[in-house]
Amino acid sequence: MAKKSVCIVGSGNWGSAIAKIVGNNVKDSSKFEREVRMYMYEENVDGRKLTEIVNTEHENIKYLPGVKLPENVVAIPDVGAACKDADILVFVLPHQFVRSTCLKMAESVKRDAVAVSLIKGFAITDSGIKFISEIITETLGIECAVMMGANLAGEVASEQFCESTIGSKNEATGQMLKELFGTSYFRCTVVEDARTVESCGALKNVVGIGAGIVDGLGYGDNTKAAVIRLGLMEMIKFCEVFVPGSKMETFFESCGIADLVATCHGGRNRMLGESVVRTNKTIRELEKEILRGQSFQGPLVAKEIFEMFQERKWVERFPLFVAVHKICKREMEPKNFIDCLREHPEHMQ
């Protein structure tokens, strides 16, 4: 069988970390082509093009400094050229850029290519929120699996042991992706319940902000554990109404509880929640100051789901998600977050 070629669509913090894994995995593979193309949104860093730096020094000095990328990973600034002829497209962009990027790819993508989304977020459309994998399938006409888990990029890049969850309706695709991504330190499990996997990835970022809020308020580990538990209950409730057939066991995979724990302790969204309490700065100002080009996904997801809850009259059912949104928008005092935990519907039964 012909070898499959891989294109990574995105090259930020996680995009670069996963490029390291994929680049190394395909090197001596009988199933995958040796060269991995990586679409890179071009920018100038220290007076040089970032693609040129990556292709000569094999390091993404802006988004994943200090980590060498395999030499068979080639950065390409034109997404159409990057994805042309690829059999596997690995999407790993901040979710707000997915649709515009897909539209630029539509002419070049192979009709029988397969996509996998590592993107934690939802898309907003005229008819409400949609899964990112759905947007990819709709705009490109191809199957799209997902991979989500407790995968803080810096730790994965330094090869610390962790797990991840591949969600694929198609068993063969799931197993192929497991081969593409799996290593001795990055263990992947394949499940069929892909929509729940994807929902967990998007929603845990909102809970991560909540964890940061209680850190900023000076509360300890018991309070943070309550945020994690109540956040999990809202994630489960969200899937009950939004993902027909969602399975409880999926929440026990890496994409569920494990990613919640990782994000609520070491994630960028946690950092944001803490800074929202400790400063008066806007989300945009904090993103610029703390992340220097990287992106917080939580505030946007909180806004997207809040608008859907309003439309469907569900606001009271998801008080933690709603409070995080309002605190990010400075429409609620951070100290009132504790009342939201105290009076949570989970305590009223």
Ligand X SMILES: O=C(CO)COP(=O)(O)O
186 is in an annotated binding site: no
Residue from 8, 152, 202, 235 in contact with ligand X (CB under 6 A) = 152
Chain centre to alpha carbon of residue 191: 18
Please name which of 63, 205, 207 lies closest in space to residue 122, comparing C-alpha atoms. Answer: 205
Listed in sequence order, the residues at least 6 apart from 175 whose beta carbon sits closer than 8 Å to its beta carbon are 190
Residue from 37, 62, 268, 326 in contact with ligand X (CB under 6 A) = 268
Listed in sequence order, the residues at least 6 apart from 288 whose beta carbon sits closer than 8 Å to its beta carbon are none
Residue 150 interacting with ligand X (CB under 6 A) = yes
Residue 117 interacting with ligand X (CB under 6 A) = no
C-alpha R_g of the chain: 20
Q: What is the DSSP letter of 165?
A: E
Residue numbers 141-200 binding ligand NAI by CB under 6 A: 151-153
Q: Which does 94 bind (CB under 5 to 8 A by kind): ligand X, ligand NAI, none?
A: ligand NAI
Residue numbers 188-207 binding ligand X by CB under 6 A: 205
CB 181 within 8 A of CB 25: yes
Residue 164 interacting with ligand X (CB under 6 A) = no
Q: Which stretch binds ligand NAI (CB under 6 A): 10-18, 207-215, 320-328, 341-349?
A: 10-18
Question: Which residues are known to be catalytic?
Answer: 204
Torsion of CA 178, 179, 184, 190, to 10 degrees: 20
In the complex, least distance from residue 91 CB atom to ligand NAI, rounded to whole angstroms: 8
Phi, psi of 71 (to 5 degrees): -70, -15
Residue numbers 31-50 binding ligand NAI by CB under 6 A: 41
Residue 139 interacting with ligand NAI (CB under 6 A) = no
Residue from 84, 129, 295, 344 in contact with ligand NAI (CB under 6 A) = 295
Nearer to ligand X, 259 or 287 (CB): 259
In the complex, least distance from residue 270 CB atom to ligand NAI, rounded to whole angstroms: 12
In sequence order, what DSSP letters do the residues of 312-326 get, joined into one string? HT-GGG-HHHHHHHH
Pairing of strands 143-148, 128-131: unpaired
C-alpha span between 129 and 221 (Å, rounded) = 33
Residue labelled with tokens 């305590």:
347
Residue labelled with tokens 């509360």:
219
Residue from 263, 286, 325, 337 in contact with ligand X (CB under 6 A) = 263
Number of residues counted as binding ligand X (CB under 6 A)? 13
Phi, psi of 4 (to 5 degrees): -95, 140
Q: Which does 269 bind (CB under 5 to 8 A by kind): ligand X, ligand NAI, none?
A: ligand X
Chain contacts with ligand X (rule: CB under 6 A): 120, 150-152, 205, 208, 259, 262-263, 267-269, 297
**Residues placed in the known binding site for substrate:** 120, 268-269
